[in-house]
C-alpha cells in the first residue's frame, strides 16, 4: 500500500559521509543517540550492534519494517482482542451500563447501592453468564502497548504510532469512543504510522473512535437547512422520537480537524470556515452494532441506494448531509458532491502550507528538542510538502539534519513515563509476564494516562509536562521496585560488576564522569537504603483523570495492596542498589 511511496525515498542515494559528521561524536555515541530517539531505548548490546550494522542500515530496516518480529508477535497472542474485528470486539466486551441492563432484564434486583450489594450482584452476574467486560478490553489495550514497546524489533513504527496517536488523540475517558480505541490504533494509526499524512488523516476522520470522540457521528444538517432537500432527512427530523438527539450541526470535529490535526490555531481559518467544514462533513458517521442499531438498520433499509459504507463501520448517510454549496478558506464547494466533497476538503487541508509547518514543528519537537530552531522546522516543512507528507521521509530528513546531532539536541529530551519505564525494562534486558504486566499502572502514576489524555490536543511534548515533583517520586519508586523484582509482571536480570561498567551499560554513550559522583555518594549512604526499601507499590485501583472507567489489573491474591513491609526487601542486594540508583538518577531520565 504505502510501500511504493516509501520505496521511492529509500532508494535515494546512500550517504557517503556519516550524517553526524562535524558533530564531534563517535559512532558509538551516535548510535546511542539514534536509538534513544527512534526507539524505546536500547537493549543490552544493541548500541554496538547498530554500530556494526551501520546507522543508515538500521534506519532503513526500521523504515521498511524488515526486522524479524516473531517474539513480539508471540507475546501479543496473550491479547485475543487484537485479532478480533470490530463487530466481534463489540459483541464480546460489554460495558457496565449494558451489563446492568442485561442483569435487570434477567431479573437481578438493584436497589441497595449503599451496601455494595449491587456491585456484588453485578459481578456475580458477570461470572454466572461468563461475560467479558469492556474493562478487560481496556486492560488488553494498555498491556499490548507496553508489550509492543518493550519487545517489538520494529521500534520506529511503534514510536511513530505513539506520535500519530497523540497527534490524532482520542481518549478512553470518552464513554462512547472507548470501545473503539483498540481498533483505532490497530487499524488506522499503526498501518499508516510511516505512511503519508493524507492517508492517516482520512483514516482517522472515518473511524468510530474519532467520529464519537469529537462528535461528528452526531452531526447532521440542520432540519431548516435550505439545501436539505432530501425527503428522508425531513422525515427523520419529524419522526425523531429521540428528542435528546437534536438535529443540527456539531462543530466539534470540524474545529479540531483544522486547529489540531492540520492547520493549527493560527492557520488562517475563521468561525465561518469551521461551520462550513462541519456542513461538508455532515453525514460522515458510523454504523453501530451496539447503540441505536435498530434505528440505524431502519434508515439503511429505507435508503439503500444512497448509503456509502467503508471500512471500520464508517458510513456516509446522504440524507443527513447538507448538500448545499460551501466556501472554505476561499475554495468553493459546489452543491451535491456528497462524500467526495469531504475527501476534497481533506486534500486541501493536508496540502496547506500551514499544515506542513505544523507537522514539521511537531516532528522536530519530538525528535530533536523542545524548542527547535526555525530553519530546521522550515526545512522539514519543505520535506513534508515535497514528499506528500511522508512520515518516512520526515524521519530520514531528521536523521540527515545537523540539528538532530547537535549539542542542543543530545540528551535534551526528557523521557515521558512510558519511555522511562519501557527503556528501563529494555536496557536491563527484562521480560514481561504477559498479560499480567503492571507497567501501565506505573506509567499512569507518573502522569501519563495511556489512551486517557482527555483533551484532543494529546499530551504536550515538553519536558515540563513529565517532570513534576510528584511524578519524579514515582520514578524513583519505580526504579527500586523494578530493581528488586517488585513490579509485578516484569522480571529483570540485573547487571553485575563494577559501578562504572554497569553505568556505562545502562546509559550507553553518555558522559558519566560527573553524573557518577552523586551516584557513588548515594550508594555509600547506608541510611538511604534502610529507609528507601519501604517505597510503596501503587495500589490496585487506578483512578483515571477524566471520569473514565477505572482499570483494575487482575489480582491474584495479595501483593498489590500497599503493604510496605511486605512489598520491599529488608535489604537490597548490591546489584539492586546499583540498578535502582542508576535508573533513578537524572541522567537516565533524559534521552
Partner 1 sequence: MWTRRAFLRTSGLSVFGMTLGGVPAFLTRTANAAPAGIQAKRPILVTIFQRGAMDGLMAVQPLNDKDLAQLRPGLLLPPSGENGLIQLDGRFGIHPRGNALADLYKQGHLAVVHGIGSPEKNRSHFDAQDYMETGTPGVKSTQSGWLNRAVGLTGHEHSAYQAVAMTSSMPRSLSGNIPALAVGNLEEFQVRAGAGADSLESLYAQATGGKTGQLLSKRGTEAFEATKVLSPDNIRSYRPANGAVYPAGVLARGLRQVAQLIKTEVGLEVAFVESNGWDTHVAQGTAQGNFARLFGELSNSIAAFWQDLGPDYQQRVTLMTMTEFGRTVHQNGSNGTDHGRGSCMFVLGNDVKGGKVYGNVGAFAKDALEDGRDLPVSTDFRSLFSDVATNHLRLSGGSGQLFPGWSGPSLGVV
CA angle 533, 524, 422 (to 5 degrees): 55
What is the DSSP pairing of strand 284-286 with strand 308-309? Answer: unpaired
Minimum CB separation from partner 1 for residue 259, in Å?
7
Minimum CB separation from partner 1 for residue 352, in Å?
18
Minimum CB separation from partner 1 for residue 424, in Å?
16
Beta strand ranges found along 383-539 (DSSP E): 431-432, 490-491
Is 190 or 413 the residue whose CB approaches partner 1 more closely?
413
Is 292 or 564 the residue whose CB approaches partner 1 more closely?
564
Is 17 or 244 the residue whose CB approaches partner 1 more closely?
244
Minimum CB separation from partner 1 for residue 561, in Å?
11
**DSSP 3-state of 554:** coil
Give the residue among 70, 126, 74 at the shortest CA–CA distance from 100.
126
Give the residue among 329, 176, 188, 190 at the shortest CA–CA distance from 252.
176
Q: Is 114 left (phi over 0), alpha (psi -120 to 50) or beta?
A: alpha
Q: Tell me how far apart the alpha carbons of residues 69 and 56 are, in angstroms, rounded to a whole number.
A: 20
Minimum CB separation from partner 1 for residue 7, in Å?
37
Minimum CB separation from partner 1 for residue 558, in Å?
17
Minimum CB separation from partner 1 for residue 273, in Å?
16
φ, ψ of residue 321 to 5 degrees: the values are -90, 140
Is 158 or 444 the residue whose CB approaches partner 1 more closely?
444
Which letter does DSSP use for residue 19 in this model?
Answer: T
Is 392 or 479 the residue whose CB approaches partner 1 more closely?
479
Report which secondary-structure segment, H or E, holds 506.
Answer: helix 499-506
Is 61 or 370 the residue whose CB approaches partner 1 more closely?
370
Is 104 or 335 the residue whose CB approaches partner 1 more closely?
104
Neighbours of 201 (CB within 10 A): 21
Is 79 or 442 the residue whose CB approaches partner 1 more closely?
442
Minimum CB separation from partner 1 for residue 551, in Å?
11
Q: Tell me how far apart the alpha carbons of residues 504 and 508 are, in angstroms, rounded to a whole number.
A: 5
**DSSP 3-state of 359:** helix
Whether the bond between 435 and the residue before it is cis, its omega within 30 degrees of 0, is yes
Q: How far is C-alpha 389 from the geometric centre of its chain's CA atoms? A: 20
Minimum CB separation from partner 1 for residue 456, in Å?
7
Q: Tell me how far apart the alpha carbons of residues 492 and 446 are, in angstroms, rounded to a whole number.
A: 20
Is 113 or 557 the residue whose CB approaches partner 1 more closely?
113
Q: Tell me how far apart the alpha carbons of residues 323 and 225 are, in angstroms, rounded to a whole number.
A: 9
Is 100 or 234 the residue whose CB approaches partner 1 more closely?
100
Instruction: Confirm if 364 and 381 have CB atoms less than 8 A apart.
Output: no
Minimum CB separation from partner 1 for residue 102, in Å?
13
Give the residue among 176, 210, 189, 291 at the shortest CA–CA distance from 549.
176
Minimum CB separation from partner 1 for residue 88, in Å?
27
CA atoms within 13 A on the CB side of 54: 9
Q: Residue 424 class from Cβ within 10 Å (0-12 exposed, 13-18 middle, 19+ buried)?
A: buried
Which letter does DSSP use for residue 267 in this model?
Answer: S
Is 110 or 231 the residue whose CB approaches partner 1 more closely?
110
Amino acid at each position: 500500500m504505502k510501500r511504493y511511496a516509501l520505496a521511492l525515498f529509500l532508494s535515494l542515494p546512500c550517504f557517503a559521509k556519516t550524517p553526524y559528521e562535524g558533530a564531534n561524536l563517535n559512532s558509538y555515541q551516535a548510535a546511542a543517540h539514534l536509538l534513544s530517539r527512534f526507539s524505546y531505548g536500547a537493549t543490552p548490546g544493541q548500541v554496538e550492534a547498530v554500530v556494526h550494522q551501520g546507522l543508515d542500515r538500521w534506519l532503513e530496516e526500521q523504515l521498511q519494517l524488515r526486522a524479524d518480529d516473531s517474539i513480539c508477535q508471540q507475546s501479543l497472542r496473550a491479547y485475543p482482542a487484537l485479532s478480533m474485528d470490530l463487530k466481534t470486539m463489540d459483541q464480546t466486551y460489554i460495558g457496565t451500563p449494558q451489563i446492568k441492563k442485561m442483569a435487570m432484564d434477567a431479573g437481578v434486583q438493584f436497589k441497595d447501592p449503599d451496601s455494595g450489594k449491587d456491585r456484588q450482584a453485578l459481578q456475580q452476574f458477570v461470572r454466572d453468564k461468563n461475560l467479558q467486560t469492556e474493562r478487560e478490553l481496556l486492560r488488553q489495550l494498555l498491556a499490548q502497548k507496553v508489550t509492543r514497546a518493550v519487545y517489538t524489533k520494529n521500534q520506529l513504527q511503534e514510536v511513530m504510532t505513539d506520535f500519530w496517536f497523540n497527534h490524532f488523540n482520542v481518549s478512553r475517558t470518552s464513554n462512547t469512543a472507548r470501545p473503539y480505541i483498540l481498533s483505532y490504533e490497530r487499524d488506522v494509526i499503526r498501518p499508516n504510522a510511516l505512511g503519508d499524512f493524507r492517508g492517516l488523516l482520512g483514516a482517522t476522520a472515518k473511524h468510530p473512535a474519532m467520529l464519537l470522540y469529537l462528535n461528528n457521528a452526531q452531526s447532521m444538517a440542520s432540519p431548516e437547512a435550505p439545501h436539505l432537500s432530501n425527503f428522508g432527512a425531513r422525515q427523520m427530523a419529524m419522526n425523531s422520537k429521540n428528542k435528546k438527539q437534536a438535529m443540527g450541526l456539531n462543530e466539534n470535529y470540524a474545529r479540531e480537524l483544522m486547529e489540531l490535526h492540520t492547520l493549527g490555531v493560527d492557520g488562517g481559518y475563521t468561525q465561518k470556515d469551521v461551520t462550513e467544514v462541519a456542513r461538508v462533513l455532515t453525514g460522515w458517521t458510523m454504523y453501530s452494532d451496539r447503540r441505536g442499531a435498530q434505528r440505524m438498520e431502519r434508515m439503511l433499509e429505507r435508503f439503500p441506494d444512497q448509503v456509502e459504507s467503508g471500512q471500520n463501520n464508517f458510513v456516509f448517510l446522504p440524507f443527513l448531509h447538507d448538500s448545499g454549496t460551501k466556501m472554505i478558506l476561499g475554495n468553493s464547494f459546489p452543491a451535491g458532491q456528497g462524500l467526495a466533497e469531504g475527501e476534497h476538503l481533506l486534500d486541501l487541508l493536508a496540502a496547506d502550507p500551514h499544515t506542513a509547518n505544523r507537522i514539521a514543528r511537531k516532528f522536530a519537537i519530538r525528535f530533536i528538542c523542545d524548542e527547535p530552531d526555525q530553519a530546521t522546522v522550515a526545512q522539514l516543512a519543505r520535506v513534508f510538502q515535497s514528499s506528500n507528507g511522508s512520515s518516512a521521509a520526515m524521519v530520514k530528513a531528521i536523521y540527515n539534519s545537523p540539528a538532530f546531532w547537535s549539542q542542543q539536541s543530545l540528551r535534551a529530551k526528557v523521557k515521558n513515563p512510558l519511555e522511562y519505564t519501557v527503556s528501563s525494562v529494555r536496557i536491563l534486558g527484562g521480560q514481561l509476564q504477559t498479560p499480567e504486566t503492571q507497567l501501565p499502572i506505573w506509567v499512569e502514576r507518573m502522569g501519563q494516562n495511556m489512551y486517557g489524555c482527555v483533551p484532543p490536543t494529546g499530551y504536550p511534548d515538553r519536558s515540563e509536562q513529565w517532570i513534576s515533583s510528584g511524578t519524579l517520586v514515582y520514578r524513583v519508586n519505580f526504579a527500586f521496585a523494578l530493581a528488586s523484582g517488585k513490579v509485578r509482571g516484569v522480571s529483570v536480570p540485573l547487571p553485575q560488576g563494577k559501578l562504572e561498567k554497569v553505568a556505562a551499560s545502562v546509559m550507553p554513550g553518555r558522559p558519566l564522569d560527573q553524573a557518577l559522583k552523586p551516584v557513588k555518594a548515594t550508594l555509600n549512604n547506608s541510611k538511604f537504603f534502610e529507609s528507601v526499601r519501604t517505597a510503596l507499590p501503587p495500589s490496585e485501583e487506578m483512578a483515571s483523570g477524566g471520569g473514565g472507567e477505572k482499570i483494575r489489573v487482575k489480582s491474584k491474591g495479595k501483593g498489590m495492596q500497599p503493604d510496605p513491609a511486605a512489598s520491599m526487601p529488608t535489604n537490597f542486594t548490591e546489584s539492586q542498589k546499583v540498578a535502582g540508583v542508576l535508573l533513578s538518577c537524572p541522567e537516565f531520565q533524559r534521552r
